[in-house]
Amino acid sequence: MRKQIFGLVSLGLLIAGCHTDMWKQPKTEPLDESASLFADGAASRPLVPGSIARGHLRLDDGYFTGIENGKFVDQIPLKLVDSAGKRKTLLLRGQERYNIYCSPCHGQVGDGKGMIAQRGFSLKRPVGNYHTDRLRNMPVGHFYDVITNGYGAMYSYASRVEPQDRWAIVAYIRALQLSQHASPADADQADLSKAQAQNETNGRLAQK
Amino acid sequence: MAQIFRPSANSIAHASLLGVAIVPLVLGLAIAALSRSPWNTKVDVPLNQPVPFSHQHHAVELGLDCRYCHKDVEKSSFAGLPATETCMSCHSQIWTNSPLLEPIRQSMETNTPIKWTKVNKVPQFVFFNHSIHVNRGLNCNTCHGAINNMHITAKGNSFQMAWCLQCHRAPERYLYKDKAPEAQGRAPRQQVFDLYKKLQEGGMKSLDEREKQLMSGHFDGTNDPADILAGKKLINEYGVKTQQLADCWTCHR
């Protein structure tokens, strides 16, 4: 009898030990639903308007909006480009970010012939081509502003591209513009001989 | 007095003795098999979504980078789901009348998030961080299966602990770097996404054996001694602390 009671009690304890409250804890993860806490049912909250996260005060208008005193900034902020190393890092970062967020529409060389632009857009005005006189002469602040606030049919990319990355993309757009608008005079001798060698190889390959 | 047991009772007794041994075994195996089957793990079971989003179309046919939508995957524990605004950055212009996209337009108009069905999840006592895995060059497909072939997203692996441990106990079988000369100098993080570009531009035939396995969702670690050696080198290069990788607190904290 005693043994049976002991058995039953331990069985009861074992069954009582079955919980799922470790699997589903009273906490929310990013983008979880939270029906009880907030009226809109979303656990992730938008920023309270006017609030500024510690370390995110944006006093430098030129840096954070691309516009200073009502005019587009004409130069990429100096603190991003004041050494050769920084310039290279910025350009490479810009290339990477450009290829993720911009190339689907603007194309890998910035001619406005990206995959999405070719596959479905029927815009009143075509996707921006950076290699026009208008955009070549546009101050850098314009490009920064377009990434931040959108332009025409283009949506804002501010939530996906951080300010420093926006400047990196702007720098890369400038590099793209140069790449498609260079004259032979811009190339130094090393470039020229390299290009010539390349041409010869291509010629040989074509003959084969 | 008549016999209570007929002669056949002997065989029944033998059979039930055998049954006592076999039934729990079979039952145990059945439970084990069931808990590993797609019925429980939902592997390869496409789940209903409010919008039938195709990764295959967007990521491979159109060549959108994973990070175009999953913007936080390289810097946060959570990969991030696209805001409705992200969908609308193209679909305000493309397929604007499609009934399939009605939930997106509704969401935009009423400012209510779309309720996607979660496909990949771990119990809440598990800590998982996307960024550390991406920054060690682990391709999305390693865990998520052949995302590049999925029209409706399904889970690629069981996400059971034994599955996690396959790699955490022997990361050298999974760590990987593209050997092609043009891939040198690319950060491991970049190589993760380069692979999809490579697939988009060159098709399956441009990939090596291992990359093919990854892209078809059948990569279970390499057994090639040369690759394992290369994996060990990467462990050193990245400073992966292998002796801690399978400790309980690495994932349960």
Which domains are assigned to chain A? 62-182 (1.10.760.10)
Q: Measuring CA to CA, which residue among B107, B90, B122 is closest to residue B51?
A: B107
Answer yes or no: do A27 and B124 touch at CB < 8 A.
yes
Q: What distance in Å separates the CA atoms of residue A165 and residue A63, rounded to the nearest whole number?
A: 12
Candidates A22, A100, A122; nearest CB to B68? A100
Q: What distance in Å separates the CA atoms of residue B34 and residue B12, rounded to the nearest whole number?
A: 30
Phi-psi map region of B185: left, alpha, beta (phi>0 left; psi -120 to 50 alpha) = left
Please give the sequence-ordered ranges of beta strands (E in DSSP) within A11-145, or none if there are none.
Answer: 67-68, 71-72
Instruction: Write out chain B's pLDDT in tens, 253 residues.
Output: 677 888 888 899 999 999 999 999 999 999 999 999 999 999 999 999 999 999 999 999 999 999 999 999 999 999 989 999 999 999 998 888 899 999 999 999 998 889 999 999 899 999 999 999 999 999 999 999 999 999 999 999 999 999 999 999 999 999 988 888 888 889 999 999 999 999 998 899 989 888 999 999 888 899 999 999 999 999 999 999 999 999 999 999 8
Q: Number of A to B CB contacts under 8 A, please give it.
A: 64
Over residues A11-35, the mean pLDDT reads 83
How close, in Å, is residue B182 to chain A by CA atoms?
A: 15
On the CB side of B212, CA atoms within 13 Å amount to 7
How close, in Å, is residue A121 to chain B by CA atoms?
A: 6
Q: Which residues of B touch A (CB under 8 A)?
A: 62-65, 67-68, 71, 78, 80-81, 83, 85-86, 88-90, 92-95, 112-113, 115, 123-125, 190, 193
Asked if this assembly's ipTM is beyond 0.85, the reply is yes
- Please, are residues A31 and B81 in contact by the beta-carbon 8 Å criterion? yes
Q: What distance in Å separates the CA atoms of residue B60 and residue B80, rounded to the nearest whole number?
A: 20
pLDDT recorded at residue A39 = 84
Handedness of CA B245, B247, B249, B251 (dihedral sign): positive
Instruction: Please state, as a whole number, how many other Cβ atoms lie within 10 Å of the Cβ of residue A208.
Output: 4
How close, in Å, is residue B103 to chain A by CA atoms?
A: 17
Q: Measuring CA to CA, which residue among A88, A84, A66 is closest to residue A167?
A: A66
